Structure 1
Amino acid sequence: MLSIIIPALNEAESIAQTLQPLQGMRERGCEVIVADGGSSDATVEMARSLADRVMASGRGRARQMNAGAATASGEVLWFLHADTRVPEEADREIAQAGSSWGRFAVKLSGRHPLLGLVAFLMNRRSCLTGIATGDQGIFVRRSLFEAIGGFPDQPLMEDIALSRLLKRTAGRPACLNTRLITSSRRWEQNGILRTIGLMWWLRFAYAMGASPARLARLYR
């Protein structure tokens, strides 16, 4: 069984679009859990009819995903961002992959040519390094997730930290070429080039040992 875990915080504008493609998977026996970090909009109300469980959690993506995983009943855990749309057969691709962990490719929703380049570089970098980001829909066997202690409780780069642990413990991920569509709003609102520079700088600083808490303050 596959448990799909989605951390959310004030995602009323996008949560229904994220959950709707998952309904066919629910009919096939998948479980959908939304871990809400204290939304002040209609996120919780909109998610209730489209998820098996909507639960309250301490705020912070890592904490929310760990909380969702703790209540999940599936043998495989699939972590999705609340602004990501997935192909309706993605659950079957995870089953066919037969890997202890893996990720999908990603496509950004906007039409600007630079966004296509950003997605290409993200996917290429992931293939070369064996490190996945949350935008790419990381999936992992529950036994392995529990063995490494879940997501490290940090305010940023929790996906990078988890990938490093998984790679060290179980080897490189399965890299599925099917693309998830993730919102490009961050890039468009803050400026594409500016966001590219910020994200690369944050990754470099984290690799050099910078505190995730300090980087989170800069990111926000």
Structure 2
Amino acid sequence: MKVSVIVPALNEAGVIEETLKSAVDAFEVIVADGGSLDGILQRAARCGAKVISTRAGRPSRGRQMDAGADASSGDALLFLHADSILPEGWAGMVKAALADDGVVAGAFSLSIVSDRRIFRVIEAAVNFRASRLGLIYGDQAIFARREAFLNCGGFNKLPLMEDVDCVKRLRKFGRVVVLKDRVKTSARRWEKNGVARSTLRNWLVLLLWFIGVSPARLYGIYYAQE
């Protein structure tokens, strides 16, 4: 099985090289850029990644990932955030999970790169939410069979909640698993606006999505706090 890794990015030159190094076992790596101005394109190319541009309209991670999927040729697709690091041996883990014909997609458990104890609590909550409630976010490195991803409609180019929405639709085609092995992600988005504030905002957006608030409106609520 050939696994394509797709990395949506916007001005992530400072972290992209470490992220791409963690994806070394991929069949191919595609960086889907949303209009960066910080030199990330050159750094990604030096790491051997294929770089595509998705500059039309406002930056949208969902649109970037869909464009990356369109440009890929692997049997399976893994979507990796630009500030996240895959665990050693990740490719074998993905292939082993998808060796079960009943499994169409999955994700890793989450580890946040910080020594602060509060992040251990957040990790526990995130991993409970994913494994027990089935609510998987993109920072957990979602992967899927190519056919299932295309059949479910991909990320639908949504401005927010594209990850949770996509996983929900993937479940119509088979099981979605959460691996015990952990992908490491940066703590910066929590630390930027405060851990408590960021966590409450994330849960609020999730709740509003569940009751039917549109992704476009959620985008405004989420980024109004940035």
**141, 145, 164: which one aligns with 2:145:** 141
What percent identity do the matched residue pairs reach?
A: 39
The yes-or-no answer on 1:92 pairing with 2:99 is no
How far is 1:200 from its partner? 0.6
3-state SS in 1 of match to 2:175: coil
- What does 1:1-220 align with in structure 2 at a 5 Å threshold? 1-23=2-24, 25-26=25-26, 30-58=27-55, 59-98=59-98, 99-167=103-171, 169-220=172-223
Letter in 2 for 1:186: R
Number of aligned residue pairs? 215
5+ residue gaps in structure 2? none
**TM-score (structure 2 length as normaliser):** 0.92
Deviation at residue 158 of structure 1 after TM alignment: 0.3
Q: Is the 8 A contact 2:104 2:175 kept in 1?
A: no
Runs of 4+ in 1 over 2 A off after TM superposition: none
1:173 partner SS = strand
Where 2:111 maps in the other structure, the secondary structure is strand
Please report how far the alpha carbon of residue 13 of structure 1 lies from its aligned counterpart in structure 2 after TM superposition: 1.0
Contact map agreement 1:34 1:51 (CA 8 A) in 2: no
- Root-mean-square deviation (CA), in Å? 1.1
SS class of match (2:213): coil
Contact kept, 8 Å, 2:110 with 2:183, in 1: the verdict is yes
Does the 8 A contact of 1:77 with 1:140 survive in 2?
A: yes
Partners of 1:206 and 1:115 lie apart in 2 by 24
Higher helix share: 1
